[in-house]
Amino acid sequence: MVQIEQDILGKNDAIAQENRLKFAMNKQLVVNLVSSPGSGKTTLLTETCRRLAADKVVVIEGDQETANDADRIRETGVRAIQVNTGKGCHLDAAMIASACERLELDGGDLIFIENVGNLVCPAGFDLGERHKIAILSVTEGEDKPLKYPDMFAASSLMLVNKVDLLPHLKFDVQLCIDNARKVNPDIEVICVSATTGEGVPEWIDWLQSQRK
């Protein structure tokens, strides 16, 4: 089993490196959005796309089934392609390479990858992205970074989402941030709400700073 896992990851990492070189050559910023199911990832991404619709933005949507999320993204005017993984619990580098070929991308694109809702498997699969971005909603728990340390250790940024619900919940934002920094001292944090727009300009600014 160990040998099989090593072979799978080795093949994936080789394709991921090819993706990374292509993205760099074409001056494309690629970010991999990861979270638990129900974190509000698609809603936040939809609001982000609305604000960036005039820019060169594309989305690769990952789900086990349906094209619902890709349809939501397309309603904003942003191009999106759906990748269904079937029984698979994550996207892999080969899926991303194929999706990019089908999208026929130009240089300079901002590419969002919305991974399958899962904080375990996507942590181990490099897609060739510049950054993993972990989205954690305040309806979950402050200890999520400690329960799923590999994902938060691999992420450059944590978006604490649905902060408009904080008045109705017993969620300690600072404790959540402290827990994330126990596993990744360098992780950046932005608190956001797609409903009220709180923190979304800071999130957009972060993206634009990475494009530069």
Q: What is the pLDDT of residues 15-66, one digit of tens each?
A: 999 999 999 999 999 999 999 999 999 999 999 999 997 789 999 999 887 7
Architecture of domain 2-211: 3-Layer(aba) Sandwich (3.40)
CA proximity to 176, closest of 191, 195, 165? 191
CA proximity to 170, closest of 196, 138, 194? 138
Q: Are 76 and 47 in contact (CB under 8 A)?
A: no
For 10, 26, 95, the CA distances from 15, given in Å and listed in that order, are: 9, 17, 10
pLDDT at site 84: 87
What span, in angstroms and rounded, lies between the C-alpha atoms of 200 and 212? Answer: 19
What span, in angstroms and rounded, lies between the C-alpha atoms of 184 and 54? Answer: 34
pLDDT at site 85: 82
Which residue, chain included where needed, has tokens 């094209």? 67
Give the whole-number percent of the chain exceeding pLDDT 90. 80
pLDDT at 162 over 90: yes
pLDDT at site 10: 83
What span, in angstroms and rounded, lies between the C-alpha atoms of 21 and 27? Answer: 10
Q: What is the mean pLDDT of the chain?
A: 92
Domain limits, the chain: 2-211
